Chain A
């Protein structure tokens, strides 16, 4: 029999349903492997014992109608979990125990899944390398000293190292797709309004979306259909008919028009990324799709726009951390002094930097020049996509402008770190769905990803394209378990 940890989410579900394996066997396998993989620093909170108890409970009274029957899953520590510590990888929430459950994680448990633990991420999801976490860097299983990407770095690392069969992340500017690309895994950011934001620690509310991170496209479709739901508790949740993505998954993409935006050919992009993109086009043609050159003229302005909009929303969202009702408190001489010391000691440098950028662009006298300007440019960026989608069904781009980098390489230069998200940020600004799939290796054997961007609510369309490309690409993730003693 194949090793349990090598099975995909879909295979696990089928084998548990056919009683070939039990939830306890699966959960034990993942608990054991997670315990011997501490070197990667993926977990912030382990709930292994409770997971084994829940697996036993499932096996005693199994319900095989569920989509994720008794399947253990570790999730990003940005999702509030009832009675399980939720930190957003920040000192300020180090001891926070939520009294409620996020809608997305509740959907997982309702589908039969079992919580394995909470995964490390950049502090408040602010970062592209998982180096801003209060709990330390996450190491990529691809190579020692390599970043897994961010902010869902712990999720990507745990997934690629097979410490969880699948996982969920959040994506505000690329935080699912960039780490998926860096670790040779599949990551999807749904259309804004698809997955409920209720119970997710807020970063930038007009951009935040939760999404699946998986080993292949089929698993991605399965996990998305479990996560995605209309939710009264999120005022921007959208009520639309959500298909059974995994059942409808279809490799036939004959006649689909795929756009190639010329503006994504950026200066200084390594030739191997260019080649990968070309290869992607060839695969699409072989699948019967038609390649169409398109233009997204405001692409270059997406990142500066993002770095006004996202910090502005963050400065407002993070105003709640004042040391009064929950979280860390530093003592002060008076109330204001207590606030200032609490926030100074409780937040890390990147979070403070972004709060201050946001406060500045929203402050009196600068609002029009920065915030309003950025909102207008955001409209131009969205209009670019609207125009493009009159001509094409989806858009193909690289996921990132480079492969994964070493820990510490970009830490001291915020702008060069921000440039990592150049291909993913426009998708968030326009609220579109995007998926990153592994598509090749660079000269160091580090994974590279391709991104497929779809029309609003056309998750099925991009999943189908990814599914047909996946077969042609035939990417195999190889890690030699070097981190296991």
Chain B
């Protein structure tokens, strides 16, 4: 199956990555060659095979419900791309 330009743009939308038309064309070419190569998996019959979802067959551990974090609010906010001492700032979302 082939991936057309419309599909590339749809994937870009789903991925929240904007792409220019020129790049979309290059991606269309790359993705088609990659998926053509990937499709050799269809040679295999996997009807009765269980999917392998995790190598480490562990049951998730429970931890004690206690606060272990130190008070590092300021340090965390220092990494914020928009300067603000109190909050993360984003473009207006509610009119």
Residues of A within 8 A of B (CB): 95-97, 99, 192-193, 206, 232, 235-236, 238, 298, 300-301, 304-305, 307-308, 315, 319, 322-329, 332-341, 343-344, 347, 352-353, 355-357, 359-360, 363, 370, 372-380, 382, 414-415, 430-431
Residues of B within 8 A of A (CB): 3, 7-8, 11-12, 14-19, 27, 30-31, 33-34, 37-42, 44, 46, 49-56, 58, 60-61, 63, 72, 75-76, 78-82, 88, 90-93
Is the pair A324, B41 in contact by a Cβ cutoff of 8 Å? no
Is the pair B38, A363 in contact by a Cβ cutoff of 8 Å? no
* Chain B nearest CB, measured from A44 CB (Å): 17
Contacts of B37 in A (CB 8 A): 304, 307, 415
Is the pair A315, B90 in contact by a Cβ cutoff of 8 Å? no
Looking at B15, B56, B81, the one whose CB has the most chain A CB atoms below 10 A away is B15
A selection of 9 A-B contacts at a CB cut-off of 8 Å is A192-B56, A193-B55, A236-B54, A307-B37, A326-B79, A347-B17, A352-B19, A376-B49, A415-B34
Partner of A338, one of B33, B42, B91: B91
Contacts of A232 in B (CB 8 A): 61, 63
Contacts of A343 in B (CB 8 A): 15-18
Is the pair A238, B56 in contact by a Cβ cutoff of 8 Å? yes
In the complex, A373 Cα to B52 Cα: how many Å?
10
* Chain B nearest CB, measured from A424 CB (Å): 16
* Chain A nearest CB, measured from B8 CB (Å): 8
* Chain B nearest CB, measured from A39 CB (Å): 32
Contacts of A300 in B (CB 8 A): 40
Is the pair B79, A356 in contact by a Cβ cutoff of 8 Å? no
Partner of A379, one of B49, B56, B75: B49
Partner of A372, one of B19, B51, B78, B79: B51
In the complex, A185 Cα to B95 Cα: how many Å?
59
Partner of A335, one of B52, B53, B76, B90: B90
Is the pair A334, B17 in contact by a Cβ cutoff of 8 Å? no
In the complex, A307 Cα to B7 Cα: how many Å?
19
Is the pair B41, A326 in contact by a Cβ cutoff of 8 Å? no
Is the pair B31, A357 in contact by a Cβ cutoff of 8 Å? yes
